[in-house]
C-alpha cells in the first residue's frame, strides 16, 4: 500500500497513513492515532490536504526549526 501524507490545515501537524495505520507526527516521532484515522476516513472532517512525502518532509523540517 502506498504511504499517504496529510497536512491538517488549521492545526500545525502532519498525518501519515501507511499499512492501514494512521500516525501523527508529534515531538519528532510518529505516534499512532485512531482519532485521526476516524476523523479522516469515517467522519466528515475535511480541513486537510493530501500532500507528497517531499512536502511532508519540508513541513516537518520547518516545524523542527521553529
Q: What is the pLDDT of residues 15-38, one digit of tens each?
A: 999 999 999 999 899 999 999 999
User: Which pTM does this prediction carry?
Assistant: 0.81
> Across residues 3-23, what is the average pLDDT?
87
Q: Which 3 state secondary structure label does DSSP give 55?
A: helix
Query: Environment class of residue 15 by beta-carbon count within 10 Å: exposed (0-12), middle (13-18) or buried (19+)?
Result: buried
β-sheet bridge partners, residue 29: 26
Measured in degrees and rounded to the nearest 5, phi and psi for residue 47 equal -85, 60
Grid coordinates representing 39 are: 476523523
Structural domain boundaries enclosing 23: 4-65
- Total structural domains within the chain: 1
Strand-pair category, 29-32 with 4-8: unpaired
Amino acid at each position: 500500500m502506498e504511504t499517504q501524507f496529510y497536512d491538517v490545515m488549521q492545526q500545525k501537524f502532519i498525518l501519515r497513513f501507511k499499512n492501514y495505520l494512521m500516525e501523527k507526527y508529534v515531538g519528532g516521532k510518529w505516534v499512532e492515532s485512531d482519532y485521526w484515522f476516524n476523523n479522516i476516513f469515517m467522519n466528515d472532517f475535511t480541513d486537510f490536504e493530501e500532500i507528497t512525502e517531499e512536502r511532508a518532509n519540508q513541513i516537518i523540517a520547518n516545524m523542527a526549526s521553529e
